[in-house]
Chains A and B, each alone.
Chain A
């Protein structure tokens, strides 16, 4: 199985900050990475797919990059509604494994 190692596991930041979350795959997976946002008690929703494509309806302050084994999710200017848990996921090969998650908290 492809392992997805996500870091950091938690992050404290302030409104207006720029933050970056990283994910490393255990083997090369092209650009087959998706990023999900999950708020407490809610289902996840995709914000970035295929490593760098912004999902329709997701704010433009979200961006993704990477290819091969290393991927990043960046939020350019944190807004109050962005405080949530973020997960990366590889869709290169089943099982479609997720990273462990990054909990983004208000400083």
Chain B
């Protein structure tokens, strides 16, 4: 069974930094692209970043470009999100998600963690 468990969410001051982690199990981690998706309180979903199976390719939403960095350690079956220069609008539940790994147009997130909460507040 695929399992994704996020951790690292806390209350942090504006301008601060935080690193989220996602521990993966139940599948061959280094075969798949991975994503981070966030959801503000009472808000919709926002895709924010992805990383290819080998870490060689990353993509970001404009809202986090230059402030957030996605990375992975395939030897530890772990995904990370380094969040710098945090703002109040980054307050959200952060989900890691596994890509299905299909060919176009079958590109989608087929497994999600339960999420970890980040609150940016003074």
Pair B105/A87 contact, Cβ less than 8 Å: no
Give a binary string over A64-101; 1 marks a CB under 8 Å from any B CB, 0 the rest.
00000000000000000000000101011011111111
Q: Verify if A34 is at the interface (C-beta below 8 Å from B).
A: yes
Q: Verify if B26 is at the interface (C-beta below 8 Å from A).
A: no
Q: Which of B52-84 contact A (CB under 8 A)?
A: 59-62
Pair B105/A31 contact, Cβ less than 8 Å: yes
Q: Verify if B95 is at the interface (C-beta below 8 Å from A).
A: yes
Closest to A29 in B: B105
Give the A-B contact count at a CB cut-off of 8 A.
65
Nearest CB in chain A: distance from B103 CB, A: 10
Nearest CB in chain B: distance from A106 CB, A: 20
Measured between beta carbons, the chain A residues less than 8 angstroms from B44 are: 87, 98-101
In which size bucket is the chain A interface? Answer: 20 to 34
Q: Verify if A50 is at the interface (C-beta below 8 Å from B).
A: yes
Give a binary string over A14-57; 1 marks a CB under 8 Å from any B CB, 0 the rest.
00000000000000001110101010001111100111010100
Distance of A106 Cα from B74 Cα, bound (Å): 44
Measured between beta carbons, the chain A residues less than 8 angstroms from B112 are: 43-45
Closest to A97 in B: B47
Measured between beta carbons, the chain B residues less than 8 angstroms from A38 are: 45
Interface residues of chain A, those whose CB is within 8 Å of chain B, are 1, 30-32, 34, 36, 38, 42-46, 49-51, 53, 55, 87, 89, 91-92, 94-101
Q: Contacts A31-B105, A94-B47, A97-B47 given; 8 further ones with Cβ under 8 A? A: A1-B62, A32-B105, A34-B109, A43-B113, A50-B105, A87-B45, A95-B62, A99-B44
